[in-house]
Amino acid sequence: RGVPFLLKDLVAHSAGDPYHAGMRLLRDLAWVEPHDTYVAARFRAAGFVFLGKTNVPELGPLPTTEPEAYGATRNPWDTARSPGGSSGGSAAAVASGMVPIAHANDGGGSIRIPASACGLVGLKPSRGRTSLGPDAGSVWEGMAIEHVVSRSVRDTAAVLDVVAGYIPGDPYTAPAPARPFRAEVGADPGRLRVGLLTRAPGGAVELHPECVRGAQTTARLLESLGHRVEEAHPPALDEEETGLAVMTVISTWIARDLAFWSERTGRPIGARDVEPMIWSVAEQGRAVTGLQYVRAAEHLHGFARRV
């Protein structure tokens, strides 16, 4: 008995179950992890029943879900389109009604993008709100965090209540909530100050007019509820160095991932063992010096404060 649930096949894993991270190499080795990660153990203790794993792009750095290992995941609303990524498999499973809720994680949009594409609730919790242990402390310099995609704010809040919380060894901790997150659903928050962002950071892309209209419609609704809404675009969002710092961190981590799996499997990993994009990013990461990485990390921590 319990709630049917799927684990995203990345970062979190469950004892005795396959873990492939979208890699052909791990698939072909039928790789299995021997223990639950902390968040998986908390899911299990809360009454979730693990039915299987969901598809991910290889090692997770993409906003789509099309690994060579398992093929493309389709959007249930329109199978000619993508569900986004990297939690695209989880989002497609929930949106199609396979399960009411599924594990997901997010470093650069991997919960939020699929939730948006599939019409779900996707919350990226604050850094340190959920644990990445015991296998990892920080992933991508604190950018990555565990949670779920669901079909309601209520469910998302209730799950956060059972999986959130500091565990000794975690490098970050988020402030404890004043009351359970599920108690916030439907509660009067008072008059909020809400920022409306309708321009992409750095002007890197032109936002689709439909997306802009959606944000503006939401802003008008919030104003009608008595909240204060104002245009907001912090200058820090346009810092050119931020994008470079993100790529420095992610590429170094991808290089680390290949070295890690080479050590664990006892096999050398070459260009033919992974997808071309992953190999290219790993090559960039191998060229990063320690000083460059530390400077990139410092910039990202400062950026978080400036925003």
The reported pLDDT for the residue numbered 204 is 78
| 223 part of a folded domain | no
What is the rounded distance in angstroms from the CA atom of residue 271 to the CA atom of residue 163?
A: 37
Q: pLDDT digit string (tens) for 81-106?
A: 999 999 999 999 999 999 999 999 99
Examine the pLDDT at 215 and tell me if it is beyond 90: yes
Give me the chain's average pLDDT, please. 97
| 157 part of a folded domain | yes
Active-site amino acid positions: 8, 86, 110
| 117 part of a folded domain | yes
Secondary structure (3-state) at 196? strand
Q: pLDDT digit string (tens) for 114-148?
A: 999 999 999 999 999 999 999 999 999 999 999 99
Q: pLDDT digit string (tens) for 154-209?
A: 999 999 999 999 999 999 999 999 999 999 999 999 999 999 999 998 877 899 99
| 248 part of a folded domain | no
Under a CB-based contact definition with an 8 Å cutoff, are residues 36 and 13 in contact? yes
Under a CB-based contact definition with an 8 Å cutoff, are residues 73 and 55 in contact? yes
| 205 part of a folded domain | no
Secondary structure (3-state) at 67? coil
Q: Report the CATH number at residue 34.
A: 3.90.1300.10
Under a CB-based contact definition with an 8 Å cutoff, are residues 95 and 119 in contact? yes
Q: pLDDT digit string (tens) for 39-66?
A: 999 999 999 999 999 999 999 999 999 9
Examine the pLDDT at 67 and tell me if it is beyond 90: yes
| 35 part of a folded domain | yes
- Residue 26 phi/psi, 5° resolution? -70, -35
Under a CB-based contact definition with an 8 Å cutoff, are residues 112 and 120 in contact? no
Percent of the chain with pLDDT over 90: 98
Domain that includes residue 16, residue range: 1-187
What pTM value is reported for the model?
0.96
Q: Mention every residue, 6+ apart, whose C-beta is less than 8 A from residue 220.
A: none
| 48 part of a folded domain | yes
| 258 part of a folded domain | no
Number of domain units in the chain: 1
What is the rounded distance in angstroms from the CA atom of residue 139 to the CA atom of residue 144?
A: 6
The reported pLDDT for the residue numbered 249 is 99
- Residue 5 phi/psi, 5° resolution? -150, 150
Cα-based distances in Å from 103 to 8, 73, 146, 174, 201 = 5, 16, 8, 20, 28
